[in-house]
Amino acid sequence: MLLYFFIISCSIGSLLLVLEKSSRQKNNVNEKTLLYIVGALSVAVLLSIYLMRGYGVGTDYPMYHSFYYFSTDALKRFGIENGYLVIYSIAKSLGMFWIVSLISFILYFSGFFILSRKLGLSLATFESMLILSYLFFTSFNMVRQMSAIGVVYLGIAFSGMFDFTQQFGLKRKILFILFVFLAAQFHSSAYVAVLFLLCRSINLNSRVVLFGSAIMSISYFLNIGNIIVPKIIYLFPHYVQKYSLIENDFFTSGSKGLIEYLPIFAQCMFLVIIIAYDSEFLSANKFMCNMYFVYLMLFAFGGNQAAIRIQDYWVPSMIYFYGAFFESKQNSFFHLSSKLFKSLVLLFLVIYVILRLFRNVSNVVPYYI
C-alpha cells in the first residue's frame, strides 16, 4: 500500500502544479525540459511497477501466468483470442513470461497516451489521471481487455473521432471500425466499441445530464441490470459459453447499494456544473464529455458483472474529461473560484481511489514482487 500511496501522492502533486500553471500563459524552455524528463522517469516507474508485480497481484493475473504453460490448442479451447495466442507464442519462444506483461502494457498505455497527446493533455496530467481514475490498478487484473481498450482508443486518435472541427466521413468511420476489429483480436468484447460512433451524436447539456442521472438512479436502485443483461447477453454466444462454465452467476450478479451510489451521484453533479458553467470546455471537449456521460449512465445496470465488462470501454473517458478540466482556464464554477472547485474535485478523486484500494478492487492489495 505504501507504494500505491506514493504514486497517488505524486499524482496529487502533479495536478496541483497543473492547477497552478493553468493560470499562467506559458512554460519557459527549462520548465518544459524538466517536465519531459520527469514524465519519462514516471513512465519508467509505472512500467516497472506493472512488470515487477507478483503473480497474485490482480484478480485474474494468476490465470494469465498459468496460460504461459498451456499449449496453443489449449488456449484456443479456453477462448483466448488470436492476438494473445501470438503474444504467448513470442513469450514462450523467448522463455520469458514477463514479455506478455510488457506487450500488454505497451498496448494499453500507448493507446491512451497517444490520444491524450492528440487532445493536448500534458504528460503529467495524463499519468496522474491514469492513476486517480484507478485504471492503472485495474490493468493489473484486466490484462487482455485493457489491451483491447488501448487499441480502441488508438483508433479514436487516428480516426479523429474526437475532432468535431472535421467531418467524420465514411473513410474515418471505416478506419475506426478496423481498429475495433484489431482490438477484438485481443479481447472479443471490443466489438461493443462500435457504439462509440453514436457518442458523437449526443447533444449534451446540463438538462440532459440531470434527466439522464434521474433515469440512471431509478434503474440503479431497481436492479434493472440483473433483469435485462441475461436477456441481452445471449446476443454474444461466445460469452454465454465461456462464463457458463466458470461463473454461473456472472450475468445476474453485482448489484450495488447506497454507499456505492454516492460517488456516482457526485460525478454526475460535477459533470452538470462543469458543462453548465464552462460552455467553451464543452465545445472543445464535446466527444469526451459525451463519452463520460455514457460511462455514468451505464451505472443504470447497477454494477452487474457482465455490464461492467461493457462499461469498461468508457472508463478511460475519465482521464480525458478530468484531465482537460484541470487544464482549463475557466475563472469560476458554481460561485466558487476555479482553483477551489478544481481542488474539491481533486480531493474527491483522491478519496475515491483510496477507498477503492482499501476495498481491494481488482485484488491489487498487497503489492509484492
Every domain of the chain and the residues it spans: 2-363
- Out of 88-92, 105-109, 127-131, 166-170, least confident range: 166-170
* Predicted local confidence at residue 316, as pLDDT: 97
Mean pLDDT value across residues 94-114: 97
**Omega of the bond leading into 366 within 30 degrees of 0 (cis):** yes
Higher pLDDT residue, 20 or 57? Answer: 57
* Tens of pLDDT, residues 73-94: 999 998 899 999 999 999 999 9
Which pTM value belongs to this model?
Answer: 0.91
Mean pLDDT value across residues 62-75: 95
Does position 34 have pLDDT exceeding 90, yes or no? no
Long-range contacts of 221-226 (CB under 8 A, 24+ apart): 221/261, 221/302, 223/255, 223/302, 224/300, 224/301, 224/302, 225/254, 225/255, 225/300, 225/301, 225/302, 225/303, 225/304, 225/307, 226/252, 226/253, 226/254, 226/255, 226/302, 226/304
* Predicted local confidence at residue 238, as pLDDT: 56
Beta carbons of 146 and 50 less than 8 angstroms apart: no
* Predicted local confidence at residue 245, as pLDDT: 46
* Predicted local confidence at residue 203, as pLDDT: 94
Mean pLDDT value across residues 139-165: 96
Does position 315 have pLDDT exceeding 80, yes or no? yes
Beta carbons of 300 and 261 less than 8 angstroms apart: no
Q: Whose CA is closest to 300, among 265, 271, 272, 273?
A: 265
Mean pLDDT value across residues 18-33: 67
**d(Cα 296, Cα 322) in Å, to the nearest integer?**
14
* Predicted local confidence at residue 246, as pLDDT: 47
* Tens of pLDDT, residues 244-281: 544 445 444 555 678 889 999 999 999 999 999 999 99
Higher pLDDT residue, 240 or 132? Answer: 132
* Predicted local confidence at residue 250, as pLDDT: 47
**d(Cα 207, Cα 34) in Å, to the nearest integer?**
43
* Predicted local confidence at residue 130, as pLDDT: 97
* Predicted local confidence at residue 233, as pLDDT: 63
* Predicted local confidence at residue 27, as pLDDT: 58
Does position 237 have pLDDT exceeding 60, yes or no? no
Q: Cell numbers of 107, please?
A: 498496448
Percent of the chain residues topping a pLDDT of 70: 89
- Out of 20-34, 129-143, 347-361, least confident range: 20-34
- Out of 10-14, 139-143, 313-317, 327-331, least confident range: 327-331
Q: Which residues on adjacent β-strands are paired with residue 333?
A: 336
* Predicted local confidence at residue 294, as pLDDT: 97
* Predicted local confidence at residue 234, as pLDDT: 60
* Predicted local confidence at residue 240, as pLDDT: 56
Neighbours of 47 (CB within 10 A): 15
* Average pLDDT score, the chain: 89
Return the half-sphere exposure (C-beta side, CA atoms, 13 A cut-off) of residue 232.
Answer: 14
* Predicted local confidence at residue 241, as pLDDT: 56
**d(Cα 33, Cα 18) in Å, to the nearest integer?**
16
Does position 175 have pLDDT exceeding 90, yes or no? yes
Beta carbons of 356 and 259 less than 8 angstroms apart: no
- Per-residue DSSP letters for 183-225? HTTT-GGGGGGGGHHHHTT----HHHHHHHHHHHHHHHHTTTH
* Predicted local confidence at residue 20, as pLDDT: 80
Q: Cell numbers of 178, please?
A: 478496423
Percent of the chain residues topping a pLDDT of 90: 74
